[in-house]
Amino acid sequence: MPSVLITGANRGLGLEFARQYAAEGWRVIAACRDPAKAHDLRGLKGSLEILALDVTDKHSVGNLVDALGTSTIDVLLLNAGVHLQKDCSLEALNEELWQREFNVNVIAPLLLARRLADSVARSDLRRIVAISSGSGSIQNMKAGGNHAYRACKAALNASMKILASDLASRGVTVVPIAPGHTRTDMGGSNAPYTAEDSVTRVRGAIGRLTFKDSGTFLSRDGTPLPW
């Protein structure tokens, strides 16, 4: 039975990833800040283990790693993220919020991947996938505004590309994938894609990954996106 560890699994894309992978017979390790309040997650059927994880708290991360022990993780899905300053102008940009956003969206996923690299490297599939955004494509940044989120996703992409080189000798495939603008609490009700559709497509892209893809920035359909 292949295994997937999903961060931010209690809502939005994370919850849908957990639902779909569990329905496909995977062992799902669903991580979220407060499992007691993750009622939708607890209602899912399948091989599901819910663990507490605050990605910005080193003690919480350590507890998760200890709980996993010698378990292998075929797919580490770095999904947890925040968007604290939506459509923010240059004038309204808040330094404190930006720093918090950077901690959650960039530093935390890289440090978690570092802690779990051994578990991934011992698995059969050996894949680390970070949920990114097309907003993080520097080449496609044609307009101003939304500084914090776009800069965070660009930095996440860079950190995953570097991580791909770090883990290449161990045969681990590392990619950031942009799921597209999806109707979630973060994406808003006017987004064009449903969570079910976006997750189905991203799961397909993950399933088709090979080691040659490591260090590339991919769309929801698995096609390369410009950095």
Question: Which tens digit of pLDDT belongs to each residue from 9-61?
Answer: 999 999 999 999 999 999 999 999 999 999 999 999 999 999 999 999 999 99
CATH number, position 130: 3.40.50.720
224: in domain = no
Domain hosting 178: range is 3-213
Q: How confident is the model at residue 182 (pLDDT cuts 50, 70, 90)?
A: confident
Q: Is the dihedral of CA 54, 76, 119, 216 positive or negative?
A: negative
Q: What's the CA gap between 81 and 226, in Å, rounded?
A: 22
111: in domain = yes
Q: For the whole model, what pTM was predicted?
A: 0.95
Question: What are the helix and strand counts (H, E) for the chain?
Answer: 7, 6
Average predicted confidence (pLDDT) for the chain: 94
167: in domain = yes
225: in domain = no
222: in domain = no
Do residues 51 and 64 lie in contact, with contact meaning Cβ atoms separated by under 8 Å?
Answer: yes
Domain count, the chain: 1
Q: Given this model, what pLDDT does residue 193 score? A: 84
pLDDT at 62 over 90: yes
226: in domain = no
227: in domain = no
49: in domain = yes
Q: Is 85 left (phi over 0), alpha (psi -120 to 50) or beta?
A: beta
